[in-house]
Amino acid sequence: MASPDVDETGRDAEAAYARLPGGAHAPMSIGRVTPGSAGQPMPLDGTAGIDSDPTETREWLDSLRYVLNSRGEERAAYLLQALEQEAYRLGVSIPFSATTPYINTIPASEQPPFPGNRELERRIKSMIRWNAMAMVVRANREDKSIGGHISTFASSATLVEVAMNHFIRGRGADHSGDQVYFQGHASPGIYARAFVEGRISEKQLENFRRELASGGGLSSYPHPWLMPGFWEFPTVSMGLGPLMAIYQARFNKYLQDRGIKDTGGQRVWSFIGDGETDEPETLGALTLAARERLDNLIFVINCNLQRLDGPVRGNGKIIQELEGLFRGAGWNVIKVIWGDDWDPLLDKDDEGLLVKRMNEVIDGQYQKYVVMPGSYIREHFFGADPKLAEMVAHLSDEKIKKLRRGGHDPEKVYAAYAAAMQCRGQPTVILAKTIKGYGLGEVGEGRNVTHQQKKLNEDELRAFRSRFGIPISDDEVAKAPFYRPPEDSPEMKYLRERREALGGPVPSRPLESPRLKIPTLAEYIPFIEKSAGREVSTTTGAVTLMASLLKDKSVGRSIVPIVPDESRTFGMDPLFKQCGIYAHTGQLYEPVDSDQLLYYREAKDGQILEEGITEAGSMSSFIAAGTAYATHGVPMIPIFIYYSMFGFQRIGDLVWAACDCRARGFMLGGTAGRTTLNGEGLQHQDGHSHLFAAAYPTVKAYDPAFVYETTVIMLDGMERMYGKGEDWIYYLTIYNENYEMPAMPAGCEEGIVRGAYRLREIPGKAAAAPKGAKKGKGALPPVQLLGSGSILREVIRAGELLAERYGVSSTVWSVTSWKELRREALACRHWNMLHPAEPPRQSYLEETLGAAEGVFVAASDHVRSVPELLDPWIPGGLFALGTDGFGRSESRTRLRRHFEVDAECIAVGVLYRLAEEGAIGAEVVAEAITSLGIDPEKVDAASA
Ligand SMILES: Cc1ncc(C[n+]2csc(CCOP(=O)(O)OP(=O)(O)O)c2C)c(N)n1
Ligand SMILES: [Mg+2]
């Protein structure tokens, strides 16, 4: 078989690497015993050209060995670095390589002794494997569309089990343990372990993926929303787990640095699929982890070389690619590629031929070896060089076939974790090579279809049972019964002992959490009164409230302001001085504005998370802070302020994850409104985040117009989330338009919180009644005007205009939350539908707007569908105006005309509705269009 051309993958320097002990860029790890160290220099071929003077080469290599043996690793590393620097200075270009040879990072000689009982651990792991497989097989017998995954956990069982038996600390009464982000679709393995541990019942296991079954079921993947006492972190939307894990680890340091909680002993683990690393989120924050020196973070990447459809990198090597990336980003990389049966072969590899072969074979080919017999491997892998073939001549084909991958060797995996524990100042990634569907044999092991394998027939079950030695009889095996060893068995004792020694079960999530004492609205009445009569924006109102809350004795310390490089946009820069920007290292430089009062102040105990330009990172911090009440037993209050356009639209999946994991906190969508943020154009002007927000079950979405509204909403939110312990995320759109803030009308607090209140009555001037009003109809019907956010003022102006010019009387409603009104109305309707014989429940919406009369016209700075959320409950239907279509770079006035949400267009909308009702003639509307200066042939903004 021809050698695959590794150069094509862009990692040509890799081959050159194998030639030098430790590789050209590995002075830090030259202590490893590498092939070739027994005397012969490794063969020089490939990129460095032909060795024109082997004797000289040998002298240099001998010198290196001499230094290494006589003076130690540090000295040898120093000399190599000095040589490299001098070569660079003299203009010698050394080929760059971020990778090391395709062998284990930790040589056999440096492996620590395995402290566990190998045999007992193997038996426990086998039972867990069996149960994990059986729960998927049985669920799919019940309902063949139910799904589930067998092959993923089959590949990661050793990675998970070694960690569970030796490293991952659990949650106990007085400690919260490590945080683990499990690979989502490996969940059967985690359930299977919890079942063997006695934490999950057989009934639950039977009802895997049938959560509505009687007796309860198990959710498909890690969902704290559905299993709040078990799962902590939702991970199955690929890429989010690793990203959230990085920010979780950083947040742990933040808690420590601010003196809020000692998290020094806690680690964050993220189990990741190799295919999952294709997601930008997986790799997007790697440099942050290194920059922040997150040595409390461990990534374990299960490199089974496959994803759903086929190979992850058939024509390349995913482990090498990831190694380069992680090393480049500054991580400690530990590769676990080969199991211990390769050690004697590597020992004999004096000429480095085996390592060279390991380096040059690509993943697609390695996968082929998994499904082919030993004779094929002998011929195609070892047969590439007669000396290699000779090396395995003493091994049978069967033995060759069984040469294990590192991720299935508990001792290699143990050594990697142990090294990760010792690493200081850097995060660690473990790249473990495994086989997808390990143990499934011909039904799935290493096959491209294995990801979706959910069924095993009787013979296949029997083979699985026998391979892993599960004590289930031939008669029983077809039923795929679950297996749990007797309570007093050595397996059960061992299992329990190990978890007890590590502090408790994993995963687990507390159902109770401490509460905070929240300031009352009464305490903030002076704050509200101060805003009255001032020309400010709701953004200023919300930020000033935050600044004030930050000083509050009971909640101030718990607030975590989070901002992706927009503090100045939102007027938050005074907070730099007040609370400081968090920086683990403090401020190592003199800031350019150090002579100013509000200088850019970074501090180790800084409170603000200034995340830089990453909404995804900021949202991950929001999640870490917003779940700290459960994760750490420390309620923290994230207030994440950002461009509303870059929230739900950009990072909606993280918001969904935040809902799933019951995160609590405030998302403040700044510079909101398709017309209020003017000039910025279509990528900035948000008019649809409320539409997104409507679909997120635990998001309460508000679109307030005035400072007193934002204040009432935020204080109510704090009380619900941190006073009462309810699981909500508060989304508030806040605007950058300055206008005079009114005083708070009496008695509107409940309406603000529930979604709407009657703001103003505007009586029509009788003398101005339209001449075209149809005779015999009497007075015009009442008009209900609904508005929210900054467009509420246009709505009020429309009411005034209608009263002045057309004698129309109207009631103006400030709608603070379209979504809240609808949510409660839907809940009532749901109950009423299912209790038809009982007196119907009335929602707040029905009691208020639903009980009003006349024509209803609504306008907001969002798409029409947002107000239309109320339509089913509005008598005669709701006529909504809104900002459908792309934004424009323009002035506010022109934008509002373009989208038809200015007072004039709203007035025309009302007249049009009155005409539709037959209350006035069409000519009145036509006249209004002309006299209000509206071009009837103007474009329809929705499609322009
Ligand atoms: C964002 C996202 N896209 C797609 C999927 C569907 N999906 C589930 S598992 C999988 C393949 C996973 O491959 P890998 O990460 O290598 O994990 P393995 O099962 O091989 O361990 C895919 C595409 C998903 N869960 N999340
Ligand atoms: Mg994979």
User: For 290-347, how does the pLDDT look when each residue is reduced to its tens digit (9 = 90+)?
Assistant: 999 999 999 999 999 999 999 999 999 999 999 999 999 999 999 999 999 999 999 9
**What is the 8-class DSSP label of residue 41?**
P
- Find out whether the beta carbon of 275 lies less than 6 Å from any atom of ligand 1: yes
For residue 653, the ligand 1 atom closest to its alpha carbon is: 1
User: Contact, 256 vs 263, CB < 8 A?
Assistant: yes
- Find out whether the beta carbon of 152 lies less than 6 Å from any atom of ligand 1: yes
pLDDT of residue 41: 43
- At 686 the three-state DSSP class reads strand
User: Contact, 205 vs 135, CB < 8 A?
Assistant: yes
- At 391 the three-state DSSP class reads helix
C-alpha 457 to ligand 1 mean position (Å): 25
Q: Of the candidates 263, 289, 268, 253, which has an alpha carbon nearest to the alpha carbon of residue 605?
A: 253
pLDDT of residue 17: 32
- Tokens 């100013």: give the residue: 596
Bridging pattern class, strands 428-433 and 297-303: parallel
pTM for the whole thing?
Answer: 0.93
Q: Is the dihedral of CA 314, 320, 326, 332 positive or negative?
A: positive
Residue-wise pLDDT tens digits, 539-560: 999 999 999 999 999 999 999 9
Q: Which amino acid is at 872?
A: P
Mean pLDDT of 270-285: 98
Q: Which amino acid is at 4?
A: P
**Ligand 1: which of 160, 307, 454 to mutate, most ligand atoms within 8 Å of CB?**
307
CA distance 318 to 274: 7
C-alpha 271 to ligand 2 mean position (Å): 11
- Find out whether the beta carbon of 237 lies less than 6 Å from any atom of ligand 1: yes
- Find out whether the beta carbon of 185 lies less than 6 Å from any atom of ligand 1: yes
Burial pattern 903-942, b for ≥16 Cβ within 10 A else e, equals bbbbbbbbbbbbbeeebbbeebbbbbbeebebeeeeeebe
- Tokens 């900021």: give the residue: 618
The closest ligand to the CA of 657 turns out to be 1
CA distance 668 to 640: 6
**Ligand 1: which of 451, 453, 654, 660 to mutate, most ligand atoms within 8 Å of CB?**
451
- Find out whether the beta carbon of 281 lies less than 6 Å from any atom of ligand 1: no
CA distance 194 to 191: 5
> Cis link prior to 507 (omega < 30° from 0)?
yes
The closest ligand to the CA of 280 turns out to be 1
Confidence of residue 64 (pLDDT cuts 50, 70, 90): very high
- Find out whether the beta carbon of 222 lies less than 6 Å from any atom of ligand 1: no
C-alpha 402 to ligand 2 mean position (Å): 21
Say which range, 24-33, 305-314, 568-577, 779-788, has the weakest mean pLDDT.
Answer: 24-33
The closest ligand to the CA of 656 turns out to be 1
Tell me how far the alpha carbon of residue 670 is from its chain's centroid. 22
Given a cut of 50, whether residue 124 has pLDDT beyond it is yes
- Find out whether the beta carbon of 436 lies less than 6 Å from any atom of ligand 1: yes
User: Contact, 883 vs 867, CB < 8 A?
Assistant: no
pLDDT of residue 853: 96
Q: Of the candidates 80, 68, 3, which has an alpha carbon nearest to the alpha carbon of residue 31?
A: 68
Closest protein CA for atom 16 of ligand 1 = 275
Mean pLDDT of 359-380: 97
Residue-wise pLDDT tens digits, 788-798: 999 999 999 99
- Tokens 């972190």: give the residue: 233
For 109, phi then psi, to 5°, come to -65, -20
Confidence of residue 437 (pLDDT cuts 50, 70, 90): very high
Given a cut of 50, whether residue 5 has pLDDT beyond it is no
Q: Of the candidates 291, 255, 239, which has an alpha carbon nearest to the alpha carbon of residue 624?
A: 255
Q: Which amino acid is at 822?
A: R
pLDDT of residue 773: 56
CA distance 436 to 734: 49
- At 726 the three-state DSSP class reads coil
Given a cut of 60, whether residue 776 has pLDDT beyond it is no
**What is the 8-class DSSP label of residue 672?**
B
CA distance 586 to 859: 48
Q: Of the candidates 386, 402, 378, 397, which has an alpha carbon nearest to the alpha carbon of residue 353?
A: 386
For residue 155, the ligand 1 atom closest to its alpha carbon is: 21
- Could you tell me what percent of the chain has a pLDDT over 90? 87
pLDDT of residue 37: 40
Could you please report the per-residue DSSP string of 223-274?
A: -TTTSTTT------STTHHHHHHHHHHHHHHHHHHTTS---TT--EEEEEET
Residues paired with 333 in a beta bridge: 429
Confidence of residue 449 (pLDDT cuts 50, 70, 90): confident
Mean pLDDT of 680-685: 96
Helices 73-89 and 54-71 sit at what angle, rounded to 10 degrees?
A: 140
Could you please report the per-residue DSSP string of 758-785?
A: EEEEEPPPGGG--TTSPTTS-SPPPEEE
pLDDT of residue 49: 61
C-alpha 454 to ligand 1 mean position (Å): 16
pLDDT of residue 597: 87
Sequence-ordered alpha helix ranges (H) in 739-874: 749-754, 792-806, 818-834, 844-847
Given a cut of 90, whether residue 879 has pLDDT beyond it is yes
- Find out whether the beta carbon of 308 lies less than 6 Å from any atom of ligand 1: yes
Q: Is the dihedral of CA 674, 676, 678, 680 positive or negative?
A: negative
Mean pLDDT of 449-478: 92
CA distance 663 to 877: 36
List C-alpha distances in Å: 176 to 60, 262, 631, 632, 830. 53, 11, 7, 6, 40
**Ligand 1: which of 156, 185, 435, 454 to mutate, most ligand atoms within 8 Å of CB?**
185
For 222, phi then psi, to 5°, come to -65, 110
Closest protein CA for atom 12 of ligand 1 = 307
- Tokens 């927000």: give the residue: 693
> How buried is residue 291: exposed, middle or buried, by Cβ count under 10 Å (0-12/13-18/19+)?
middle
Virtual CA dihedral for 364, 368, 369, 373, nearest 10 degrees?
-170
- Find out whether the beta carbon of 236 lies less than 6 Å from any atom of ligand 1: yes
For residue 239, the ligand 1 atom closest to its alpha carbon is: 1
- Find out whether the beta carbon of 302 lies less than 6 Å from any atom of ligand 1: yes
- At 98 the three-state DSSP class reads coil
- Tokens 């106990």: give the residue: 172
- At 95 the three-state DSSP class reads coil
**Ligand 1: which of 301, 308, 363 to mutate, most ligand atoms within 8 Å of CB?**
308
Confidence of residue 942 (pLDDT cuts 50, 70, 90): very high
Residue-wise pLDDT tens digits, 148-205: 999 999 999 999 999 999 999 999 888 899 999 999 999 999 999 999 999 999 999 9
C-alpha 624 to ligand 2 mean position (Å): 27
C-alpha 305 to ligand 2 mean position (Å): 5
User: Contact, 171 vs 227, CB < 8 A?
Assistant: no
Residue-wise pLDDT tens digits, 629-661: 999 999 999 999 999 999 999 999 999 999 999
Given a cut of 60, whether residue 2 has pLDDT beyond it is no
Given a cut of 60, whether residue 7 has pLDDT beyond it is no
pLDDT of residue 548: 97
- Find out whether the beta carbon of 27 lies less than 6 Å from any atom of ligand 1: no
Helices 792-806 and 922-931 sit at what angle, rounded to 10 degrees?
A: 110
User: Contact, 46 vs 15, CB < 8 A?
Assistant: yes
For residue 302, the ligand 1 atom closest to its alpha carbon is: 21
Q: How many residues can be counted in the chain?
A: 944
For residue 236, the ligand 1 atom closest to its alpha carbon is: 25
- At 109 the three-state DSSP class reads helix
Mean pLDDT of 763-779: 69
- Find out whether the beta carbon of 276 lies less than 6 Å from any atom of ligand 1: yes
pLDDT of residue 31: 44
Sequence-ordered alpha helix ranges (H) in 502-565: 525-531, 538-550
C-alpha 252 to ligand 1 mean position (Å): 28
Q: Of the candidates 655, 788, 764, 536, which has an alpha carbon nearest to the alpha carbon of residue 244?
A: 655
pLDDT of residue 778: 57
Average pLDDT value for the chain: 93
Q: What does R_g of the chain's alpha carbons equal in angstroms?
A: 33
Confidence of residue 455 (pLDDT cuts 50, 70, 90): confident
Contacts of 546 (CB under 8 A, 6+ apart): 559, 561, 572, 575, 639
User: Contact, 233 vs 179, CB < 8 A?
Assistant: yes
CA distance 677 to 339: 60
**What is the 8-class DSSP label of residue 183?**
-
For residue 304, the ligand 1 atom closest to its alpha carbon is: 20
**Ligand 1: which of 149, 187, 238, 300 to mutate, most ligand atoms within 8 Å of CB?**
238
CA distance 402 to 408: 11
Residue-wise pLDDT tens digits, 709-732: 999 999 999 999 999 999 999 999
Q: Of the candidates 771, 802, 823, 807, which has an alpha carbon nearest to the alpha carbon of residue 908?
A: 802
